[in-house]
Amino acid sequence: MRILLYNPDNGVTRNFMPHLWMFLLQALTPAGHEVLLIDGNAQPMDEAGIAQYVREQNIGLVGIGAMTRMIAKAYRMADAIRAIGVPVVMGGPHVTEEADEALGRNGGPRHADAVALGEADETWPKIVEDAARGKLKDVYAPVDEFGQERKPTLQPYPAIPWDKINLDQFNLVPKMAKRTLQRISDGWGTFRIIPIESGRGCPYGCEFCTVTGFFGDSIRFRSNESVVNELLLLKARAKSEGGQIAVFFIDDNFAINIKRTKSLLRDIIAAGAQVHWVAQISANLLRDEELVDLIAASGGKWVFIGMESIDPVNLADVNKGFNKPGEYAAVLERLAQRNVYAITSFIFGMDNDTPGVAERTLQEIRTWPAGLPIFGLITPLPGTPLYKRLADAGRLTRPKHWQEFIPFAMAHTPLKMTIAQAHAEVKHGWARSYSAEAMAQAVHSLRHKPLGYRINIFIARMCFRGIYFPQMGPWAWLKLIAQNRHTIFSLVKEAFITWHGRPVSAGPTEVTEGFEQESV
Ligand code: B12
Ligand code: SF4
């Protein structure tokens, strides 16, 4: 049987990274079946397009995975596939919480023939076998023979054949630049960010988050050896194709067990498996100097920190009191000293937020080493304690907000401001952080840092800006470049003087050195 695994596009940005679930399920598919992958962010498709593809490729089963924000598109695509008589199985965090919606059991239309609840590592082979026999069940739950929930141990972990998979759709280097860039130093003909998990689960249980409910509050880790081997495989692939690779450790809290994280990072260093990597780590765990040293030494370049709010009352409200705003500056300083960049994430519209919260947050941010701030609105995702609390209090204004997804729009009324005011706050955060003046200011504030570091932060800021201000297509980019021409000109001028001023023998290799050390 030919199987298609499909992830819908998010409709806002092109994705910078493929989704791990597809590669994992592909690796777990029983022998004798062929699996094709389409990520809608890399290969946009509409309903007619996917139906045609499924028909032409003689696909016998389609698996669709989606987050809540993409679920409406996922359902439309599933409907188009089912209309031509091909069965659809859906999985992922949204349908795990809303299985009845996907199966049409709550009065709405049916979108999926089957739903895989929770982690599907162990149920997927069964789903494929049942589909091949034409005997798909409605629901597949990860349970043992006694009906108790069973989570995959991750030991052993399936070997994803990264050296053989066709990754053409995930090359971030534009096609026209590929051949020229391939010749530079170790090669930049390809640049891919690949997701790797080293563990699953999170004990913290923040009120707005689905992770503790979905993956559980006890953490399961892969062996260090299996992670190191995966890194070595990716590194070898990048080298063989004259390209670069970076890794996103998608663990929800990569340092949740500091002792184990340090041991993994030491093993990565010992095996020479360093690649540039990014990970999510909560601020409280970054107090440890040795950990931060190891992060930098093992290739860590970007750390995503869910700061959420600078107000301890807000943090306590959402069960995230372990975040201490008083220590944010020290944590960021610790990372910056090792040239590790921070992506700092904030949520507005929380219950103790009042008008002006964005500007108050920006005033704090301006006192920290320049990084990448991002802003969102608190969103009641299905299955979270937050959703239940707001529903019980009658505060949900759009209880099924995912059916008509609107980016950056509240689905409930905040307590101390209006919905419109919350929207204005998030806009203010983005506009003030990503204006040409703010970008120039950020780059200038890092003037003591290596040029490669500054170029990186500038490029990253240009890309991150697109999360809120859509900048799809060449015209949008040209406009952005024009707005930021002064910063670009000064960086290019400095690069020319710095790198062309060097002895000729140190030429092209040295030219890219700054980029290589500072990229991701
Ligand atoms: C990496 C990641 C991202 C990446 C993007 C995705 C990518 N390219 O990988 C980035 C950083 C961009 C991102 C952004 C966001 N993310 Co995110 N992200 C994650 C994260 C940390 C890891 C995802 C992952 O690969 N997990 C590991 C794999 C193995 O697990 P999995 O995907 O769940 O797949 C398993 C099962 O679900 C199932 N399964 C999944 N799909 C399918 C399909 C079929 C057919 C079957 C049978 C089974 C199946 O089988 C898999 C193996 O067991 C998760 C948290 C988490 N730990 O999962 C959050 C998570 C998915 N993100 C979440 C959210 C909310 C967001 C944002 C909306 C945040 C925001 N406010 O901006 C944005 C939206 C981005 C966008 N524009 O689309 C939520 C989604 C909750 C929900 N109900 O939708 C999660 C769960 C985190 C959370 N806080 O609750 N995210
Ligand atoms: S927000 Fe982060 S720390 Fe909190 S429960 Fe979710 S994954 Fe854990």
Whether residue 199 has its Cβ less than 6 Å from ligand 2:
no
Exposed, middle or buried by CB within 10 Å (0-12, 13-18, 19+), for 229?
middle
Mean pLDDT to the nearest integer, 74-78: 98
State in Å: Cα 204 to ligand 1 middle. Answer: 18
Whether residue 253 has its Cβ less than 6 Å from ligand 2:
yes
Whether residue 349 has its Cβ less than 6 Å from ligand 1:
no
- The confidence score (pLDDT) of residue 10 equals 80
Nearest CA, atom 35, ligand 1: 119
Ligand located closest to 62 CA: 1
- The confidence score (pLDDT) of residue 277 equals 98
The rounded distance, in Å, linking the Cα atoms of 228 and 277 is 13
What string of DSSP letters covers 454-510?
Answer: HHHHHHHHHHHHTTTS---SHHHHHHHHHHTHHHHHHHHHHHHHHHHTS-GGGHHHH
Token pair, residue 204, equals: 């913290």
Nearest CA, atom 7, ligand 2: 252
Residue whose structure tokens are 């696909």:
59
- The confidence score (pLDDT) of residue 510 equals 32
- Work out the pLDDT band at 84, boundaries 50, 70, 90: very high
The rounded distance, in Å, linking the Cα atoms of 333 and 369 is 6
The rounded distance, in Å, linking the Cα atoms of 300 and 33 is 37
The rounded distance, in Å, linking the Cα atoms of 72 and 79 is 11
Nearest CA, atom 6, ligand 2: 209
Instruction: Out of 97-101, 164-168, 174-178, pick the least confident.
Output: 174-178
Mean pLDDT to the nearest integer, 375-402: 98
The rounded distance, in Å, linking the Cα atoms of 410 and 418 is 10
Which ligand 2 atom minimizes the distance to the CA of 282?
3
In three-state secondary structure terms, 354 is: coil
- The confidence score (pLDDT) of residue 33 equals 98
Query: How much of the chain is in helix, strand and coil states, percent to nearest 5?
Result: 45, 15, 40
Mean pLDDT to the nearest integer, 353-360: 98
Q: Of 329, 278, 275, 314, whose CA–CA distance to 298 is shortest?
A: 275
Mean pLDDT to the nearest integer, 448-466: 93
State in Å: Cα 365 to ligand 1 middle. Answer: 27
Greatest CA span in the chain, whole angstroms?
A: 73
State in Å: Cα 499 to ligand 1 middle. Answer: 41
Which ligand 1 atom minimizes the distance to the CA of 280?
21
Q: Residues of the chain with pLDDT > 90: what percent?
A: 84
Whether residue 401 has its Cβ less than 6 Å from ligand 1:
no
Q: Which of 67, 197, 206, 384 for mutating ligand 2's site (highest number of atoms within 8 Å of CB)? A: 206
CB 346 within 8 A of CB 309: yes
Whether pLDDT at 509 is above 60: no
CB atoms within 10 A of CB 310: 18
Whether pLDDT at 187 is above 80: no
- The confidence score (pLDDT) of residue 232 equals 97
Whether residue 3 has its Cβ less than 6 Å from ligand 2:
no
Give the model confidence (pLDDT) of 30-48 as tens digits. Answer: 999 999 999 998 899 999 9
Token pair, residue 457, equals: 């932060």
- With a CB cutoff of 8 Å and minimum separation 6, the contacts of 311 are 325, 350, 352, 353, 357
State in Å: Cα 169 to ligand 2 middle. Answer: 31
Instruction: Out of 64-73, 364-373, 397-406, 503-512, pick the least confident.
Output: 503-512
The rounded distance, in Å, linking the Cα atoms of 260 and 358 is 37
- Work out the pLDDT band at 242, boundaries 50, 70, 90: confident
- The confidence score (pLDDT) of residue 502 equals 57
Whether pLDDT at 326 is above 50: yes
Whether residue 253 has its Cβ less than 6 Å from ligand 1:
no
Nearest CA, atom 20, ligand 1: 250
State in Å: Cα 512 to ligand 1 middle. Answer: 34
> DSSP assignment, residue 169?
G
Q: From residue 288, give the alpha-carbon distance in Å to each of 201, 294, 331.
A: 22, 10, 9
Whether residue 312 has its Cβ less than 6 Å from ligand 2:
no
Which ligand 2 atom minimizes the distance to the CA of 252?
7
Whether pLDDT at 435 is above 60: yes
- The confidence score (pLDDT) of residue 302 equals 97
CB 209 within 8 A of CB 203: no
CB 3 within 8 A of CB 36: yes
In three-state secondary structure terms, 139 is: strand
Whether residue 306 has its Cβ less than 6 Å from ligand 2:
yes
> DSSP assignment, residue 331?
H
- Work out the pLDDT band at 131, boundaries 50, 70, 90: very high
Token pair, residue 66, equals: 């989606």
Strand ranges (E), 154-256: 191-196, 199-200, 220-221, 244-249
- Which tops the pLDDT comparison, 512 or 187? 187
CB 520 within 8 A of CB 278: yes
- Work out the pLDDT band at 508, boundaries 50, 70, 90: very low
- With a CB cutoff of 8 Å and minimum separation 6, the contacts of 9 are 15, 39, 40, 41, 44, 70, 73
- The confidence score (pLDDT) of residue 188 equals 80
The rounded distance, in Å, linking the Cα atoms of 507 and 184 is 10
Q: Of 12, 18, 14, 122, whose CA–CA distance to 65 is shortest?
A: 18
